[in-house]
Structure 1
Amino acid sequence: MGTLLRDDLFEAQLLRALGYAPYGGADVAECLSVARRISGTSLTSWHDEWSAQAARVLAGAEESASAGNVASARSAFFRASNYFRTAGLFAMGTPVDPRLIAAHTREVEAFRQGAALLAHPPTIVQVPYEGSSLPGYFFPAADDDEPRPTVILTNGYDGTAEELYFTNGAASLERGYNVLAFDGPGQGAMILDDGVPFRPDWENVITPVVDFLEQQVTVAPKRIALIGLSFGGYLAPRAATVEHRLAACISDCGPYDLFDATASRLPGFLAKQLPDGNPALLRLLDRLVKGVMGRPTAGWALRRNLMVHGLTDPMEFFRLAPQYTLKGIEDRIQCPTFVCSAENDDLSINAPKLHHALTCAKEYVQFAAADGAGEHCESGARTLFHRRAFDWLDHIVFPPTL
């Protein structure tokens, strides 16, 4: 948007919050009023203003709920949930900031109150996973026992299972899909409550989820699709390289190779030394990176990355990143795959390489800035993404009309 806030990252996250308005997660005027109250590039001001807005909306939700006004209460609970999430976003980092824990707790509570008022409320689920479980929600498309196509939603670095309802869940439900939204390792409750960091082999996360869905009578087992956005745009196709029960896969603005995506933001002569090059140059890089990490918004992404990977040293992250790659394994994906990028998004700039390397049935779309869809994950233009992605997916998982 370019004019409301003084910082590009603030602008991007404002647009992210605003973009959920079509699916009940935001009100345009509420978000703009918060933006006008934020002081400069202060992370404290960001947190406090979004928290205050969320609390006001939550109070309205509770008032409507007490009066039996279901639609008003649901809308306000959902908006409050999104605003609490937005409030805590920039507190991500290590050690864990108590404000992040509090914001996430209130996000979840508000979301669940709103979701309970849906025409078809979700079931809060715990998907069995390696002696533990993955927390999430199963949203039925209807109240009958008819087996239906189902989408699994997988998130990125800083999303939550609750946010997934707004990114892709509501759009899936209105098209007749069941929805399974969950927090995997490194995400939401898994990292904040249990301290479980990301893992590159996401097939070992998705396979238990598919196992779980195959046990549900309302799920058509041969019509399960996987949608990943942001870093989930890497995780989803990575899972599809091994998990061949998937009917389709959608990769929305994910990195083709995490190391390449992060190293491209470093001075070239220093990036060439990673991971084990000239010790003096690596020490210089370490000082530069740590200096950036101390800056409020410029250092946020790396502070967040260390947190979700369970790391404390930025150089550890650069050594870990090469494990998160699709290079050389793309031909193992067997299901039809939709790959997209956004015109202004450097994270997904190599999406065409993934699409070119695929040997399965495939589709590639670059979303354009001229259509308002040029930002990462088509922020602010999710309805356009949903039209293109679901028009493609519908033809694969829904049987033709006789």
Structure 2
Amino acid sequence: MSILKKNNGPMSKGPSIQSISGDHWSELKFTDGIMTDAIMKHVMGLCYLGMADAGEAFEVVSRLNDKETDSWENTWADLASKLKTRAQNSEKNEKKISASTAYLRASTYYRMATMYMEDVHSPKMEEYTRHSFDCYEKSLALSGYPGKYVEIPYEGTYLPGHFYQSPYAKRDKAPLLVLTPGRDTWAVDTRWMFDAALKRGIHCLTYDGPGQGYALRFQNLKFRPDWEKVMGPVLDYAETMDCVDMDHVACMGFSFGGFLMPRVAAFDKRIKLIITDPGNISWGKGIGERLAMIQKMPSRMRPKFMSVMLEDYAWKHGVPEEAVVDELKKYDNTKILDKVECEVLVLDGTAEMTFGAAKELYDALVNAKNKDYILFDDDSTAQCHTQMGGYATGAETIMDWLEDHI
């Protein structure tokens, strides 16, 4: 790991999962698809938190069949169903600990099934989401983990989330870390950060905003570029909590959520600091260019994952596939970066998909009260996108910085 360290850029294409050779682990490919390989790295990173198990994850990899329609969601859902049944049997026999851990992993695997579905409008999308929700809540209740489900008032409806109250808070009112997930992961997937924060006496509020997790799948809320109108109600809700010190509020976003953080800091001055993981000035530009190339390919010639990706973007943004590229042009923070005046931590990694974009953001934050840039290099083992697969190292590094600044 290094700070402002010169590097050689993104990794080249590496070996397959069948090989243990290669310069760094980030070169390993669990699947042939960009999206599914990233999800697998994410799942492997959750193992140390008990949200997944390595043997179970590798079993899924071994059973995937690209020639079989719906192989991805069926394989994950089958595993989740088996674990849910096991958890129910343990609960029935008053084995609460075993039940809680099995429910937790089942919840994860149901979510994985929804992250790459060939038909996003399939009834299975809501079915798996409901199972994931129920299993997670069962795990919380049985384990005694200090979290509770909350519904944050938002434009006549609500944003689903969780408030986690730190049992290690040193005073009546403690700092708050608000966590915003990315385009594909869910708020509950940020456990690697909120668990680390709780242990350091920091309360956490997580939520699924429009286009994300439960909010998308249960309420059909779509992404919007003016995210300050999403974060505003979240912070309003935080103000109602007697245990939260609103003078010490940090907001962190992951992947697409990381791109959104400068926007919310520019318009809401209640935020003391933001962490953008990774940094990016114009999310729409890079992604839009890739999707434009996909659109130019005849649909019959596209690799399956490309068609699934295009449909997924259209669904989450609430536009037809042909309008996705123009919609993404709205996701550009160039004109508002001079309004960011709080403290900022910009994260980057040598195996990031948009390597170099974070440093451009760091340089553009000319009015930030204080700013730092941390590069996760190859030796850190947390060099992948949002530290996937290296969440332990990522959490330790980020929290060391946060404790000094919040």
TM-score range, shorter chain: 0.7 to 0.9
CA contact (8 A) 1:236 1:249 kept: yes
Which range moved further: 39-48 or 213-222?
Answer: 39-48
1:7 alignment partner in structure 2: 32
Query: TM-score scaled by structure 1?
Result: 0.87
2:382/2:393 contact within 8 Å kept: yes
Whole-angstrom distance in 2 between the partners of 1:92 and 1:110: 24
SS of corresponding position for 2:280: coil
Deviation at 1:167, TM superposition (A): 4.1
User: Per-residue deviation at 1:168?
Assistant: 2.2
Structure 2 distance, partners of 1:318, 1:291, is 20
Is the 1:92–1:100 Cα contact (8 Å) retained in structure 2? no
State the Cα deviation string for residues 259-298 of structure 1 (Å, max 9, x = none): 32124436xxx87xxxxxxxxxxxxx84427557x63213
Matches for 1:125-140 after TM superposition, within 5 Å? 125-140=150-165
Q: 2:311 aligns with which of 303, 318, 327?
A: 303
Question: Shift of the alpha carbon at 1:125?
Answer: 1.2
Listed one character per residue, the Cα deviations across residues 106-162 of structure 1 (whole Å, up to 9, x for unaligned) are 111111111113434422211111222111111111298821111111111122233
- Whether contact under 8 Å (1:232, 1:254) holds in the other structure is no
State the AA in 1 paired with 2:261. A
Residues 1:223 and 2:230 aligned together: no
Structure 1: gaps of 5 or more residues: 272-284, 398-402
Gapped runs of 5+ residues in structure 2?
Answer: 1-14, 19-29
Q: What is the aligned partner in structure 2 of residue 276 from structure 1?
A: none
Distance 1:356 1:157, change over 3 A: same
Q: Is the partner of 1:265 in helix, strand or coil?
A: helix
* Residue matched to 1:62: 88
Output the CA distance in 2 between the equivalents of 1:388 and 1:340. 10
- Hey, what does 1:384 align to over in structure 2? 393
Q: Distance in 1 between matches of 2:68 and 2:114?
A: 13
Cα 1:111/1:223, change in 2 over 3 Å: same
In the aligned structure 2, how far is the partner of 1:191 from the partner of 1:348? 29
The amino acid of 1:246's aligned partner reads I
Figure out how many residues of one structure are paired with residues of the other and give that number.
Answer: 377
Q: Which whole-Å CA distance do the structure 1 matches of 2:117 and 2:76 have between them?
A: 13
Contact 2:168 2:200 in 1 (8 A): no
Q: Offset at 1:6? A: 4.4
Secondary structure of 2:304's match? coil
Alignment of 1:40-59 (within 5 A): 40=66, 42=68, 44-59=70-85
1:23 and 1:171 in contact (8 A); partners too? no
1:79 aligned residue (96, 105, 130): 105
Tell me how far apart the structure 1 counterparts of residues 106 and 346 of structure 2 sit (CA, whole Å): 32
**Counterpart AA for 1:173:** L
Q: 1:100 pairs with 114, 120, 125, which one?
A: 125
> Percent identity, aligned pairs only?
27
Map 1:29-48 to 2 at 5 A: 29-40=55-66, 42=68, 44-48=70-74
Q: Does 1:312 align with 2:337?
A: no
Structure 2 SS opposite 1:298:
helix
Give the deviation of 1:81 after TM superposition: 0.6
Runs of 4+ in 1 over 4 A off after TM superposition: 289-292
Structure 1 position 364 matched with structure 2 position 373: yes
1:92–1:123 Cα change, 3 Å: farther
- Alignment of 1:322 with 2:324, yes or no, is no
- Secondary structure at the counterpart of residue 91 of structure 1: coil
CA distance in 2 between partners of 1:12 and 1:136 (Å): 24
Aligned match of 1:89: 115
Deviates more, 1:72-81 or 1:369-378: 369-378
Instruction: Tell me what 2:361 maps to.
Output: 354
Residues 323-378 of structure 1: per-residue CA shift (max 9 Å, x gap): 11121321211211111122122235311111111121111112123332222111
Greater alpha carbon shift after TM alignment, 214-223 vs 325-334 = 325-334
- d(CA) in 1 for partners of 2:299 and 2:175? 47
- The structural deviation recorded for 1:92 is 6.4
- Partner SS for 1:393: helix
Aligned to 1:277: none
Q: 1:218 to 1:88 in 2, by over 3 A?
A: same
Deviates more, 1:386-395 or 1:31-40: 31-40
Cα 1:348–1:70, aligned 2, differ >3 Å: closer, same or farther? Answer: farther
Taking structure 1 as reference, are residues 289 and 381 closer, same or farther at Cα in structure 2, changes over 3 Å only? farther
**Contact 1:140–1:179 under 8 Å retained in 2:** yes
CA distance in 2, matches of 1:201, 1:45: 36
**Alignment partners' CA distance in 1, 2:228 and 2:118:** 26
Q: CA RMSD in A?
A: 2.3
The CA deviation string for residues 212-232 of structure 1, in whole angstroms up to 9 with x for no partner, is 111101111111111100100
Give the SS at the match of 1:380. Answer: coil
The one-letter amino acid of 1:364's match is Y
Q: Name the counterpart of 1:400.
A: none
Point out which structure has higher relative CO (alpha carbons under 8 A, 6+ apart). Answer: 2
> What residue in structure 2 maps to residue 281 of structure 1?
none
Residue 331, structure 1, aligned to residue 343, structure 2 = no
Partner of 1:279: none
CA 1:386–1:313 in structure 2 vs 1: closer, same or farther (change >3 Å)? same
Residue 153 of structure 1 aligns to which amino acid in structure 2?
A: L
Q: Identify the residue that residue 278 of structure 1 maps to in structure 2.
A: none
Cα distance in 2 for residues equivalent to 1:115 and 1:307: 30
Q: Deviations over 1:184-209 (max 9, x none)?
A: 11112222222221111111111111
Cα distance in 1 between the residues matched to 2:250 and 2:102: 30
